[in-house]
Amino acid sequence: MNITLAQAEAAVAAAKQKAAELNTKMDISIVDSGSNLVAFARMDGAWIGSVDISFKKAKTAAWFLMDTAALSPLIQPGQPLFNIEHSNGGLITFPGGVAIKNAAGEVIGAIGVSGSSVENDHAVATAGAVAVK
């Protein structure tokens, strides 16, 4: 199963709405379960440097079937996944990437958001993921 364009567009719309509520500007990437880009939005005034970060957060969440926030404790020195962010052409393992699941709980894609604090990035990504039906 993969996310559809309609679902990806719904995720982008919800993420943009949440970003506006938080008074921030975001780069938003939606990928399918294989981490192929399905939809992208760069809000007016969002940092150009966050375009790549948003995509890598989405890719990381899709490849590891979990939110990037859940990876953060596992990549610290002495932990089992230390230095994993250097694999696969570069991953992002801090909050802002959220796996998108279907009704059966299967990962069908992911959303990656960047442009603010990691707390805001995670909140915006979560809003986008929850909007997928």
Q: Summarize pLDDT for 40-68 with one digit per residue, the tens.
A: 999 999 999 999 999 999 999 999 999 99
* Interatomic CA distance for residues 107 and 56, integer angstroms: 17
Q: Summarize pLDDT for 74-127 with one digit per residue, the tens.
A: 988 998 888 888 888 888 889 999 999 999 999 999 999 999 999 999 999 999
- The residue segments making up the domain with residue 100 are 5-130
pTM: 0.94
Closest CA to 124 of 35, 7, 25, 31: 25
Supply the CATH number for residue 23's domain. Answer: 3.30.450.150
At 10, phi and psi to the nearest 5? -65, -40
**Alpha-carbon separation of residue 50 from 8, 29, 66, 122, 126 (angstroms):** 19, 10, 21, 14, 17
What pLDDT, on the 0 to 100 scale, is given for residue 132? 95
Q: How many domains does the chain have?
A: 1
What pLDDT, on the 0 to 100 scale, is given for residue 89? 83
